[in-house]
Chain A
Amino acid sequence: MERFLQTKHLIQIDDLSRSDIEEIFALAEYYLQKNKNKVEQKHHLQSFTQINVFFENSTRTLASFELAGKKLGGIVQDIRIATSSIQKGETLIDTALTLNAMRPDLLIVRHSSSGAVNLLSEKVNCSVLNAGDGSHEHPTQALLDFLTIKHRKKKKEGLIIAICGDISHSRVARSNIALLCKFNNQVRLIGPSNLLPNSFKDMGLEIYNRMEDGVRNADVIMMLRLQKERMKGGFIPSRREYFNRFGLDNQKLLLAKSDAIVMHPGPMNRGVEIDGIIADDLNRSVIQEQVEIGVALRMAVLHLLVDRKN
């Protein structure tokens, strides 16, 4: 099979064409089956070196990328820079050049500043994959979310998808918006006005400040994590008021389609944005599935980026 990605780097969803995404999904399905059946991996990939450079703390995304790389037979090195060289005064570009000199095939980068991964990608020879930059994008999260939706809904167009929470600061939301709109889905954004800027309306998206209105008849409800630092009064008055307005509980879920699924990129704040019972309801919640698909999806993306190079 001829597999080819147009883009060298994956920084944002718009780097991918629709056919690129189809390609990624096809390969992800293959890896998903392989992972499920615990089949001995046959690497058709040449050996490759992958460095996970995380300037911001992460557990699950880092683990997912690490596992994906290792399952493909790559040499995977994690570097957590949040606590090392930046404090020694090294600039992002110097860090990039240092890593570049180690001749990796792939850099997986997370950074707290929007655009930082793009800047880094301009300075290195290898492919760079954005694992989250500030409030900008987190493309593999959106891809794995979308593949999960496709699995459950058996289609990927014409769905009503409600994204709820702190849209303003969410890179997951931005990547999902870009991806879901690419496939002609109806995207609704739900959140308090101070965490959901009007500019999203100017992009042609529906915005709701009452969750009950936003989830009505939805096929998918995607909950976002509310960062702890936003709970202290500057953005929302209290956890309980937030949960009352925007937390997903049974009452609100009843307004969605009867087969609506519930998603969350993790880590969850039970009782803040989502009721624990819903999160654990395997008929509704696909949160564990997202994690499983995440590994396969990332294997597919890594595979295609490495293959491109060879």
Chain B
Amino acid sequence: MEKQITFINARLIDPKVEIETAGTLTINGGLIDKKNDGIKGKVIDCKGMCLAPGIVDIGVKVCEPGEKHKESFRSASSAAAAGGVTSLVTRPDTKPSIDNPELLEFFKNRGKEASKVRIFPTASLTKRNNGKKMTEIGFLHDGGAVAFTDGFNSIPNTKIFHQILKYASDFNTLIIGHPQDYFLTKNTSATNGVFASIKGLSSSPDFAEKIGIERDTALISNLNIRYHADQVTTKIGLDVLRDIKATNNRITAGTSVHHLLFNELDIGNYRTFFKLKPPLRSNADREALTEAIREGLIDNICSMHTPQDEESKRLPFEEAAPGAVGLETILPASLSLYHNKILSLNQLFRLLALNPANIIKKSLGCLDEGQPADIIIFDPDKPVKIDRFQFRSKSQNTPFDGFNLQGENLLTMVEGEIIFKKNSFEV
């Protein structure tokens, strides 16, 4: 690939500026060089399509080690590239979990040899992710863990959690919490309400999330530590988040694109692809979440990519594994916020790229000069019908199967290298 490339006729989606512009972008040696500064090197005609920073997805599960049949680095990377995701912030809830420096090293090496997209690993907060004993946070931090988390497990014992957080604060690191009260949510598969009652499903109340956010943020309030709530999904949770964020700027929060587009009724006749963690919420919650996105309360949108094989999902609802894959649907799904006039494209890419990069303190996610050229070119309007059997992911558990969405990724580039290109797009 040429060192110097100029993209012409592009809609430049730079999350750092308010208004999108039409123009050119030059990259040089894997870095973004200049915007609108003539044509240098090879020319790629974007034909009026959008050029944006690649998506930074926080909370992706690559199932190595342990469940490679669900997703490997190779398949996750290929799915990400196709989906316009250039950085994966991976979860440590593998089998075994990434809870010691040797495993972290293995994980990083596997990522290096098999992945075309960037891998930013997080490590477990507690050994085996079981909430009891802390991991070697110092070693893991030095070994390159960008954050610490127990994935979908919240630590049941508040005193233990507090001890761990105090210890972790020595490293000024990032904690990614799953703010759901442990006992209220244990063994539940739906949200309290008429739907769960009619269907006879064990359910947890929406305030389990409120309690989770209040507890976690109370514990960190006097500590030199950054905290990111993985997914906030309820109105009641958003209300407390709003108050807490007003007084503590080290707290950020994300949400999954699934919670933005679906509500509990989509579960319908016990459809297990709609079993998520936290569970899908009421439509009032979903609407509140959309408003929170508009308001800027939510910092990032993620796919919470959670591959599950068919056997884990072909079970009665309460017994089925939770989670959905999302790398190949996050772009068209989140573009619905643009089509529904909730956000401009520039604003949307703040949530998809710039903010998540800032959360993990990486210099990515914008079109600034000197930034690595992690970029995507996409058609925001192209109608697409999601067919899960066309996925590059090894697992196909998506609730979007058969859905008509809008938006197609045409080209993905990481550090100036094209790692995915649609045949229809000429370079």
CA distance A114 to B200 in the complex (A): 6
Q: Is A137 an interface residue (CB 8 A)?
A: yes
CA distance A174 to B196 in the complex (A): 12
Question: Do B196 and A115 touch across chains, with their CB atoms under 8 A apart?
Answer: no
CA distance A174 to B201 in the complex (A): 12
Question: Do B192 and A199 touch across chains, with their CB atoms under 8 A apart?
Answer: yes
Decide yes or no: A118 and B200 within 8 Å by CB, A91-B311, A91-B314 being known contacts.
no
For residue B195, which residue of chain A has the nearest CB? Answer: A199
Within 8 A of A (CB), among B158-203: 192-194, 196-202
Decide yes or no: A91 and B270 within 8 Å by CB, A135-B200, A137-B200, A202-B193 being known contacts.
no
Within 8 A of B (CB), among A10-47: none
CA distance A92 to B318 in the complex (A): 13
Question: Do A115 and B314 touch across chains, with their CB atoms under 8 A apart?
Answer: no
Number of interface residues of A (CB under 8 A): 22
Closest-CB distance, A247 to chain B (whole angstroms): 24
CA distance A203 to B195 in the complex (A): 10
Question: Do B318 and A115 touch across chains, with their CB atoms under 8 A apart?
Answer: yes
Question: Do A116 and B197 touch across chains, with their CB atoms under 8 A apart?
Answer: no
A114, A115, A136, A202, most chain B CB atoms within 10 A:
A115
Q: Which residues of A contact B318 (CB under 8 A)?
A: 113-115, 134
CA distance A115 to B196 in the complex (A): 11
Question: Do A200 and B270 touch across chains, with their CB atoms under 8 A apart?
Answer: no
CA distance A9 to B120 in the complex (A): 50
Decide yes or no: A200 and B316 within 8 Å by CB, A91-B311, A115-B270, A118-B269 being known contacts.
no
Of the candidates A92, A93, A115, A135, the one whose C-beta lies within 8 Å of that of B269 is: A115
Give 1 or 0 for each of B309-325: 1 = CB within 8 Å of chain A CB: 00100111111000000
Decide yes or no: A203 and B194 within 8 Å by CB, A92-B315, A113-B316, A113-B318 being known contacts.
yes
Q: Which residues of B contact A171 (CB under 8 A)?
A: 200
CA distance A236 to B326 in the complex (A): 43
CA distance A240 to B318 in the complex (A): 33
Question: Do A136 and B199 touch across chains, with their CB atoms under 8 A apart?
Answer: yes
For residue A11, which residue of chain B has the nearest CB? Answer: B269
Of the candidates A93, A119, A134, the one whose C-beta lies within 8 Å of that of B200 is: A134
Q: Which residues of B contact A133 (CB under 8 A)?
A: 200
Question: Do A113 and B197 touch across chains, with their CB atoms under 8 A apart?
Answer: no
Of the candidates A114, A137, A199, A202, the one whose C-beta lies within 8 Å of that of B316 is: A114
Closest-CB distance, A228 to chain B (whole angstroms): 19
Q: Which residues of A contact B197 (CB under 8 A)?
A: 174, 197, 199-200, 203
What is the interface of chain A mostly: helix, strand, loop, or mixed?
mixed
Give 1 or 0 for each of A93-107: 1 = CB within 8 Å of chain B CB: 100000000000000
Q: Which residues of B contact A116 (CB under 8 A)?
A: 316
Question: Do A114 and B315 touch across chains, with their CB atoms under 8 A apart?
Answer: no
Within 8 A of B (CB), among A181-211: 197, 199-200, 202-203
Closest-CB distance, A48 to chain B (whole angstroms): 27
CA distance A92 to B272 in the complex (A): 14
Question: Do A91 and B315 touch across chains, with their CB atoms under 8 A apart?
Answer: yes
CA distance A133 to B319 in the complex (A): 13
CA distance A202 to B193 in the complex (A): 8
CA distance A114 to B316 in the complex (A): 7
Q: Is A303 an interface residue (CB 8 A)?
A: no
Q: Which residues of A contact B200 (CB under 8 A)?
A: 114-115, 133-137, 171, 174
Q: Is A225 an interface residue (CB 8 A)?
A: no
Question: Do A113 and B319 touch across chains, with their CB atoms under 8 A apart?
Answer: yes
Closest-CB distance, A112 to chain B (whole angstroms): 9
Question: Do A174 and B316 touch across chains, with their CB atoms under 8 A apart?
Answer: no
CA distance A134 to B315 in the complex (A): 14
Closest-CB distance, A182 to chain B (whole angstroms): 14
CA distance A197 to B311 in the complex (A): 33
Question: Do B316 and A111 touch across chains, with their CB atoms under 8 A apart?
Answer: yes
Question: Do B317 and A114 touch across chains, with their CB atoms under 8 A apart?
Answer: yes
A113, A118, A171, A200, most chain B CB atoms within 10 A:
A113
Question: Do B198 and A115 touch across chains, with their CB atoms under 8 A apart?
Answer: no
CA distance A143 to B192 in the complex (A): 28
Question: Do B316 and A92 touch across chains, with their CB atoms under 8 A apart?
Answer: yes
Question: Do A202 and B317 touch across chains, with their CB atoms under 8 A apart?
Answer: no
CA distance A118 to B317 in the complex (A): 10
Question: 7 tightest CB-CB pairs across the interface, nearest first?
Answer: A115-B270, A135-B200, A136-B200, A113-B316, A116-B316, A114-B200, A199-B197
Having A114-B201, A114-B318, A119-B314, one finds 13 other A-B pairs with CB under 8 Å, namely: A92-B316, A114-B316, A115-B269, A115-B270, A115-B318, A119-B270, A119-B317, A135-B201, A136-B199, A197-B197, A199-B192, A199-B193, A199-B196
Point out residues on A near B: beta carbons under 8 Å: 91-93, 111, 113-116, 118-119, 133-137, 171, 174, 197, 199-200, 202-203
Pairs across A and B, CB under 8 Å, 25 listed: A91-B314, A91-B315, A113-B316, A113-B318, A114-B316, A114-B317, A115-B200, A115-B201, A115-B269, A115-B270, A115-B316, A115-B317, A115-B318, A119-B270, A134-B200, A135-B200, A135-B202, A136-B200, A199-B192, A199-B193, A199-B194, A199-B197, A200-B197, A203-B194, A203-B197
